[in-house]
Structure 1
Amino acid sequence: MTDKRTPLDFDAIRAAAIGNYVSTIFPAAGISFTKAAHQHQACPMCGGSNRFRCDDKRGEGTWICSQCGAGNGFMLVQQYTGLDVYETNKLIAGAIGLDATSEVTDEQRAQWQSQQVEREAAEKAEKRQARIDAAARATSIWDNARPATNDHPYLLRKNIASINLRQDANDNLVIPMNYYNKDTKVVTLVNIQTIAPDSEKLFLKGGLVNGAYHLIGNTTMFGGGIVLICEGYATGATIFDAMSYSLPVVVAFNANNLIPVAQSIRAQYPDHRIIICADNDSATAVKMRDKDISEGKEPKPLIEYNAGIYKAKQAAVTVGGEMVTPSFDILDIDKDAA
């Protein structure tokens, strides 16, 4: 004789749970936060002092941990409790007042759907306003900053020069981040990256990063028909110097932004040769793969751990460009081609 579990309406439980994870479901599962959910704090699963935050997008309890990865509220409850899918649903249902005998009406489903639509609209409006506010702050900071000097500690450590950078009252380097609007064909300042004397890098909270870039050089250099794209300013300044200040270098700020920035440049310069200058994170890749193996996980291909190479290759393929891993003694680009 086999024991049968009482049927549960998983879809209804999932719909009813939206908007209730942080306030009700997480506490019922024993998950507690030491700070406001959206702030960086200890991860309920792996610990650590500043690895985790719950941004609760769309009310789904979404979270990010630099150690554990990311997921939604259901995943967090399941991973934290170690329960299977059925028992996790049962726990969530109990937390929000549903059980196997509860009859979910069409009116309830319509109400949950309406609430979700309203929640998504509110989040979208809030995100848009945050970007508008950040762009205004970026303009103010940039306008009030002074030209950066080459004796800034970060520039000295990297042995690079200040090229179109400024310095704020706290001696942070200020790097402008511009965005090309494909509809209006206009490039505008949307954010800044600051680099402190101790090398800490920050973007303005709420500001647009995806697709935003910094140009080292000037627009007249695009006449040569070649554009170089890289991740960080230090790499970009080094490449710019290696090219004898002859080719424009576009800074994407991180590996994940290489594709949207490359697409932006391709939209502006459809016939140009685009070369992605990749960061080679091979040492980090080996460590990450070895860590997965030590934890009993099936390792991915090594290149997938190497974000610099992996994302650069994707960006090059996406825009019909090329990828190089630059050696700053001899860079695989013909300077005379410009």
Structure 2
Amino acid sequence: MTNKRPPLNFDAIANAAVGNWVTHVFPAAGISFNQPAHQHQACPMCGGNDRFRCDDKRGEGTWICSQCGAGNGFMLVQQYTGLDVYDTNKLIAGAVGLDATSTVTDEQRIQWQSQQVEREAAEKAEKRQARLDAASRAQSVWDNAKPAADDHPYLLRKNVSAIGLRQDSSDNLIIPMYYYNPDKQQTTLVNVQTIAPDSEKLFLKGGLVSGAYFTIGSAAMFSGGVILICEGYATAATVFDAMSYSLPVIVAFNAHNLIPVAKAIRAQYPDHRIIICADDDSATALKMRDKDIAEGKEPKPLVEYNAGIRDGKLAAIAVNGELVVPSFDVVDMDKDAA
């Protein structure tokens, strides 16, 4: 007598599950959402409020949680149920009405591939339309805003001036975000960042962020042959002031955006000296490493937790530029100057 389990066709199960995770597989595994799947809500694994969402990209049940990480539908089902790979596949097969041991026909493969192409095309079209809509809203927000005042609470806290900024009727600072299209050699407004009096920062939903930037300084300043790139506006404005308003400073808005922004600037100025002015997120890095240690995880090198330094170095390498880490100890502002 043997306890050997009959073989399962994992390939057939994976393909059959595509597009069915939210409607069939997750409910069958006992995973339920109290909001539409793509909206922020409680995580079914850790239970944290408003930290989980299932974007279901390519119909693969993809999800992200600020506590648990990210993964696809299979990973969510397996982690939630605690089943092994075999039993997880068996559960999924039953949820989509598939005979788990069946073979995959050529016709099925063609059908699945066709459906996948259609889903990806639909997602791409939806994303493009969202970006177009956001760009239109950004232009409206910008056009209807007034010049920003230097006594805005955020600017006062950061000890910087409003250079090229505007302010809306709710007293949010408005920072325009421009994107350079190398094919058309055009720069267009694609989004805005708003900064509320309490320092909350937001981008327009659906708007392009990657590669979008804001320039502090005039076009004439680029003739100097040196361009500085910073993360946030406050850092950039401080650096601009420190350089006696003589060099252009680019705002990339966050550490992750330093690389695409640096590449966009390099495409426009191939012979310029590009200097990345990185934020030193050492305090945050230490907290993140200590948290991993407290949770029994193997800690990574400290620089891996320091997004400002890490991504700053990568950006400098990507464009054959240079890296500096400005010190703002003499200025009354937060360590994270962005």
The one-letter code matched in structure 2 to 1:7 is: P
Distance of 1:174 and 1:45 partners within structure 2: 38
Q: How many residues align?
A: 331
CA distance in structure 2 between the partners assigned to 1:309 and 1:172 by the alignment? 29
Cross-structure match for 1:273: 273
2:137 aligned partner? 137
- Residues 2 and 280 of structure 1: is their aligned pair in 2 closer, same or farther, counting only changes over 3 Å? farther
Residue deviations 1:159-188 (CA, integer Å, cap 9, x gap):
111000001111111000000000011111
- Contact 1:312-1:323 at 8 Å conserved across structures: yes
Paired with 2:328 and 2:282, the residues of 1 have a C-alpha distance of 17
Measured in 1, the distance between the counterparts of 2:31 and 2:218 equals 52
> In structure 1, what is the equivalent of residue 58 of structure 2?
58
Partners of 1:19 and 1:60 within 8 A in 2: yes
Cα distance in structure 1, aligned partners of 2:122 and 2:224 = 45
Does the C-alpha gap of structure 1 residues 119 and 304 become closer, same or farther in structure 2, counting only changes over 3 Å? same
**Unpaired segments ≥5 residues, structure 1:** 331-338
The 2-side partners of 1:167 and 1:150 are apart by 11
Structure 2: any 5+ residue segments left out of the alignment?
Answer: 331-338
Q: 1:210 is matched with which residue?
A: 210
Maintained 8 Å contact 1:13/1:98: yes
Post-superposition offset of 1:100:
3.2
Between the aligned partners of 1:168 and 1:141, the Cα distance in structure 2 is: 8
CA distance in 2, matches of 1:216, 1:83: 54
Q: Deviations over 1:174-224 (max 9, x none)?
A: 000000000011111000000111111111111000100011112211111
Alignment partners' CA distance in 2, 1:275 and 1:19? 45
Q: What amino acid is the match of 2:216?
A: I
User: What is the identity, as a one-letter code, of the residue corresponding to 2:144?
Assistant: N
User: Residue 249 of structure 1 corresponds to which residue in structure 2?
Assistant: 249
Q: Tell me the equivalent position of 1:41.
A: 41
* SS at structure 2 position matched to 1:288: helix
CA RMSD after TM alignment: 1.5
> Which amino acid in structure 1 is aligned with residue 38 of structure 2?
H
Amino acid at match of 1:38: H
Query: CA offsets per residue over residues 223-269 of structure 1, 9 Å max, x none?
Result: 11111111111111111111111111101111110000000000000
| Aligned equivalent of 2:7 | 7
Counterpart in the other structure of 1:295: 295
Q: Which amino acid aligns with 1:34?
A: N
Structure 1 moving runs of 4+ over 6 Å:
none
Aligned residue identity for 2:328: F
Deviations 1:12-66 (A, max 9, x none): 1111111011111111111111111111111111122111111111111111111
Cα separation, 2, equivalents of 1:120 and 1:317: 33
Secondary structure of the structure 2 residue equivalent to 1:162: coil
Question: Post-superposition shift, 1:3?
Answer: 2.5
Over 3 Å counting, the alpha-carbon distance change for 1:99 and 1:295 in structure 2 is farther
Query: How many Å separate the matches in 2 of 1:45 and 1:284?
Result: 26
Q: Distance in 1 between matches of 2:101 and 2:225?
A: 68
Which SS does the other structure have where 2:36 is aligned?
A: coil
Determine the C-alpha separation between the residues in 1 that align with 2:4 and 2:302.
44
Aligned residues with identical type, % of pairs: 79
Structure 2 contact 9–103 (Cα < 8 Å) conserved: no
For 1:335, the equivalent position in structure 2 comes to none
How far 1:296 moved relative to its partner? 2.0
Question: Which SS does the other structure have where 2:183 is aligned?
Answer: coil
Specify the code of the residue in structure 1 equivalent to 2:321.
G
Task: Confirm or deny: 8 A CA contact 1:178 1:190 kept in the other structure.
Answer: yes
Q: Distance in 1 between matches of 2:237 and 2:144?
A: 24
Map of 1:151 onto structure 2: 151
Q: Contact 1:279 / 1:308 at 8 angstroms: preserved in 2?
A: yes
Partner amino acid for 1:115?
Q
Could you list the per-position Cα deviations for residues 52-97 of structure 1 after superposition, in whole angstroms to 9, with x for gaps in the alignment? 1111111111111111111111111111112222221111111111
CA distance in 2, matches of 1:8, 1:220: 67
Alignment correspondent of 1:170: 170
Opposite residue 211 of structure 1, the aligned amino acid is: G
Q: Counterpart of 2:192 in 1: which secondary structure?
A: strand
Structure 1 match to 2:286: 286
CA distance in 1, matches of 2:209, 2:189: 11
Which string of whole-angstrom CA distances, capped at 9 and with x for unpartnered residues, describes residues 132-153 of structure 1? 1111110111011100001111
Where 1:49 maps in the other structure, the secondary structure is coil
**Per-residue deviation at 1:329?**
6.4
Deviations 1:303-329 (CA, angstroms, capped at 9, x unpaired): 111111111111111110111110136
